[in-house]
Chains A and B, each alone.
Chain A
Amino acid sequence: MENEDPRDQLVEHLPAMRAFAISLTRNGAIADDMVQDTLVKAWTNIEKFQPGSNMRAWLFTILRNTYYSSRRKAKREVSDVDGIFTESLAEKPAHDGHMQMLDFRKALAKLKVEQREALLLVGASGFSYEEAADMCGVAVGTIKSRTNRARARIAELMGLNEDEALEMTDDATMSVLSTSKVASF
């Protein structure tokens, strides 16, 4: 195992990287370009990978850096990047035909990007709060609160636990208003 070229393991992480990138960007073409960039960066910088450490975490760190730098670039070119992303969501049919799934996708798309990211890292990609905090360069508590807010917002948007939804309204409205801020903590 130790003598193996770590680059041979890159392929194993590709599906997870794609799943994360697609959900983060909500656009398959953009996501795959990002994953491709990440793969090339990882391959050419493989000496920076610490053997024995978590390769997936390393790759996801590169992936999200790629995302944020392309997002900054895109923002300079078009003012309403999020609006464009949200529109492209409509082209994506719900493969399984479940309304709930479609509602979920829409709700996920409406989250502030850092909340969506936290939820995807912790809730779907299998990272611990600590690993996610490391990747995002923020405190563990920040990741926890982003994940909790993401869940609460999705629950509200999907009309789950109606009684709690009311107290969320102000916070949710605020989060919509400040969507463009990447780090608001």
Chain B
Amino acid sequence: MKPKPSKNPSEDVIDQNLRRVFDETLEEGIPDRFKDLLAQLKQQEKPTDGK
């Protein structure tokens, strides 16, 4: 995301807030449920699991 020249100050405010909303989630990293899920999916790979 590159800072582009904005037409008006409201765009800056909106972009800043968007970034903050997103960063809040990005900073959480990857919740365990997703790590577990990926591990599970990987596990199922080896034997042919017909699902």
Q: A15-B28, A158-B13 are in contact. Are A39 and B34 (CB under 8 A)?
A: yes
Q: Which of B2-50 contact A (CB under 8 A)?
A: 8-11, 13-15, 17-22, 24-26, 28-31, 33-35, 37-38, 41-42
Q: Do the beta carbons of A40 and B41 come within 8 Å of each other?
A: yes
Q: Which residue of B lies closest to A43 (CB)?
A: B41
Interface size on A, residues (CB 8 A): 36
Would you call A95 an interface residue if the criterion is a C-beta within 8 Å of the partner chain's C-beta atoms? yes
Interface size on B, residues (CB 8 A): 28
Q: Is the interface of A mostly helix, strand, loop or mixed?
A: helix
Would you call A160 an interface residue if the criterion is a C-beta within 8 Å of the partner chain's C-beta atoms? yes
Q: Do the beta carbons of B37 and A40 come within 8 Å of each other?
A: yes
Q: Do the beta carbons of B38 and A19 come within 8 Å of each other?
A: no
Provide the bound-state CA to CA distance between A108 and B14, in Å: 10
Q: Do the beta carbons of A22 and B25 come within 8 Å of each other?
A: yes
